[in-house]
Structure 1
Amino acid sequence: MKAIYDLPAPAKLNLFLHITGRRDDGYHLLQSVFMLIDWCDTLHVELRRDGQLSREDLTTELPADDLILRAARALQPFAAPGQGAHIGVAKHVPAQAGMGGGSSDAATCLLALNRLWGLNLPLSRLAHIGLKLGADVPFFLGGRNAWVEGIGEQITPVTLPSARFAVVKPPEGLDTRLIFSASDLQRATPVAIISGFAADSESSEATNLGNQVFDFGHNDLQPVAQRLCPAVTEAIEWLGTQGLKARMTGSGSSVFAMLPQSPQEAELLEAPEGWQVRQCSNLEVHPLLGWAT
């Protein structure tokens, strides 16, 4: 195998995000449900036999040393001498959006190089490597929508009803570190349980379940984000004028709202200049599920 092309790296939405505490080492304890959506980056990997790692930006210019190259370097010690890779990246998921784009790219890179280099490392080993790159990487490696706890390493797959969402990214981004270091961040939300989230999708009508699931909880990071970035509030209010109840995903600045089932009712107004707006569907599983045992 010399190359693998058209590898998807899907984004995620946080249906809710509660901060339940803080460890002595400063890491925040969270609870969330991560949901995969069909807004994706695309990676192409080609084998190099000179031991070098290189990256080509096919759309948006990325930082010189991003999570993709860091993931490749973290995996390379397991490869045979002389094995390297050239990685092409078609970046579509916006950065500083709370959608996990960089972490998803890193996960897809690990899965691809594990196959390209013939390593056959198990998923548990890749997840251990991925967690050192970022707390969200193991989720994308796991490949299923999930109830996430701890600092992001405790992952329990959940089944979600199919739905469509309006996802809005204003021009401004947000630095996650600024939000988590804010003195006014809520850090003591009571611990929830999966059954309270209504994970058993067979017990309710689909529409009622969807309303229950997608209205659950709140995002503790949102008030701080709205203070730091007024565009988050503007995006929420813009969706609100169209009868949609919106909240922020992750650490923002993107916000999302569940769309009506009727295609006519789901039509959105023209967005302000510079905003990225997409209608996305959630994914049942990651397109690369099963690439590592």
Structure 2
Amino acid sequence: MSASRPWPAPAKVNLGLRVVGTRPDGYHLLESCFVPLDLADRLWIEAEPASTTSVSLEVAGVAAGVPGGDENLVVRAARAFLDAAGRPARVAIRLEKAIPVGAGLGGGSSDAATVLRALDAAFANAIAGDRLAAIALRLGADVPFFLDPRPAWVTGIGEHVEAIAPFPALDLLLVTPAPPLATAEVFRAHDAALTPGSHDRRMPPLRGIPGRTLVAALASKEADHAGIAAGSPPQGLAELLANDLEPVAARLCPGILRVRRELERLGARVVAMSGSGPTMFGLFDGSEETTTAGAQGRFEATDRVLAVRTLGAPLDLGNRAGASWGVV
């Protein structure tokens, strides 16, 4: 398998995230709209048959905080694929990071899924699609989505992925304050804040909201009058895109509230948090407005600021990695 082709691994943003329950094994049940972005890591992968499996990884770019060796999800993904396929191989991976680490944008999960897709192509679909999805889920709850990254409703612990099409292109300003947040830490804080035996949601569940309704709300300039469904009380777009994890994430990372206020000051239609944070996003009307907001924002030197656009389907991103300001 040649390393000449770069494999793009796009980030994602969560447009609304509800924690609706917990399984007996401790995994959380979620409802969220996942949408890929034109911000992407890139991977170059070489694989050739060998008597025993070995996986090497070189990381470049925005690599602070990226674990090396077998602790890296990319290496674990390669080993999991080769073990399941029964194809020992020598694999060399070069990972060029553009997606902030520990930011709630799914960078590590996307990288792992991209390795699965690349090796599946190299070994002529050696693993059936359902088995590949099962491997992805064992690696992480977000990984199955990135096997075919396009706008989707994601439910369960991440294993139920239902594509939404068509989906409008959205211009977002991402701001990631320090420090990075570990997903497990945020969920522990969320659980600790709940009344025992309850899931005291501040926002209504997304279940039952037709995908077309959210799409219409996103496309509408009248966001404050977007309804969930016929006969439902009016509900604003900000409520649809709210994230149950933001209150606890903001206690772990106080910069979240500061960034929220600045994005609101800059005139974002909606401000919300992606994933388990700490990345906040502001929805703006068009790329020019988004770029202007990024340039004029009063952000701290340690904030990572990126102007991005959502993708309707997987694309070859080439050298595109979002327009950025601040520390890279």
Summarize the Cα distance change of 1:206–1:116 in structure 2 as closer, same or farther, 3 Å threshold: same
Aligned to 2:232: none
Aligned to 2:107: 101
Aligned to 1:156: 162
Aligned to 1:56: 58
Which structure 2 residues correspond to residues 134-173 of structure 1 after superposition, within 5 A?
134-159=140-165, 160-173=167-180
CA contact (8 A) 1:214 1:258 kept: no
Aligned to 1:234: 258
SS of aligned partner of 1:58:
strand
Aligned to 1:286: 314
Write out per-residue CA displacement over residues 143-167 of structure 1, whole angstroms, 9 at most, x where no aligned residue. 2211111111111111321111000
Pairwise CA distance, 1:261: 2.6
Summarize the Cα distance change of 1:82–1:133 in structure 2 as closer, same or farther, 3 Å threshold: closer
Summarize the Cα distance change of 1:226–1:266 in structure 2 as closer, same or farther, 3 Å threshold: same
Pairwise CA distance, 1:174: 0.9
SS of aligned partner of 1:142:
coil
Aligned to 1:187: 199
Pairwise CA distance, 1:169: 0.8
Pairwise CA distance, 1:265: 6.9
Summarize the Cα distance change of 1:205–1:169 in structure 2 as closer, same or farther, 3 Å threshold: closer
Residue 80 (structure 2) pairs with residue 74 (structure 1): yes
| Code of the aligned partner of 2:15 | L
Q: What is the alpha-carbon distance in structure 1 between the residues aligned to residue 292 and residue 45 of structure 2?
A: 37
Summarize the Cα distance change of 1:196–1:205 in structure 2 as closer, same or farther, 3 Å threshold: closer
Q: What is the alpha-carbon distance in structure 1 between the residues aligned to residue 26 and residue 107 of structure 2?
A: 24
Write out per-residue CA displacement over residues 226-264 of structure 1, whole angstroms, 9 at most, x where no aligned residue. 111101111111111112231111100100011123725
Q: What is the alpha-carbon distance in structure 1 between the residues aligned to residue 79 and residue 11 of structure 2?
A: 23
SS of aligned partner of 1:191:
coil
Q: What is the alpha-carbon distance in structure 1 between the residues aligned to residue 74 and residue 38 of structure 2?
A: 20
Two-structure CA RMSD over aligned residues (Å):
2.5
Comparing 217-226 with 71-80, greater Cα deviation is found at: 71-80
Aligned to 2:231: none
Aligned to 2:302: 274
SS of aligned partner of 2:162:
strand
Pairwise CA distance, 1:121: 2.5
Stretches of structure 2 that go unaligned for 5 or more consecutive residues are: 227-235, 317-328
Comparing 112-121 with 163-172, greater Cα deviation is found at: 112-121
SS of aligned partner of 1:88:
strand
Residue 272 (structure 2) pairs with residue 247 (structure 1): yes
CA contact (8 A) 1:14 1:250 kept: yes
Comparing 166-175 with 47-56, greater Cα deviation is found at: 47-56
Stretches of structure 1 that go unaligned for 5 or more consecutive residues are: 289-293
Write out per-residue CA displacement over residues 160-206 of structure 1, whole angstroms, 9 at most, x where no aligned residue. 211110001112111211221121158343433354554485x7894
TM-score (norm 1): 0.89
CA contact (8 A) 1:260 1:266 kept: no
Pairwise CA distance, 1:118: 3.0
SS of aligned partner of 1:181:
helix
Q: What is the alpha-carbon distance in structure 2 between the residues aligned to residue 228 and residue 264 of structure 1?
A: 30
CA contact (8 A) 2:172 2:290 kept: no
Q: What is the alpha-carbon distance in structure 1 between the residues aligned to residue 108 and residue 222 of structure 2?
A: 31
Aligned to 1:291: none
| Code of the aligned partner of 1:243 | G
Summarize the Cα distance change of 1:285–1:209 in structure 2 as closer, same or farther, 3 Å threshold: farther
Aligned to 2:321: none
Comparing 115-124 with 61-70, greater Cα deviation is found at: 115-124
| Code of the aligned partner of 1:273 | A
Structure 1 runs of 4+ with >4 Å offset: 78-82, 208-214
Pairwise CA distance, 1:279: 0.8
CA contact (8 A) 1:161 1:210 kept: no
The alignment-based identity, stated in percent, is 36
Summarize the Cα distance change of 1:224–1:78 in structure 2 as closer, same or farther, 3 Å threshold: closer
CA contact (8 A) 1:20 1:188 kept: no
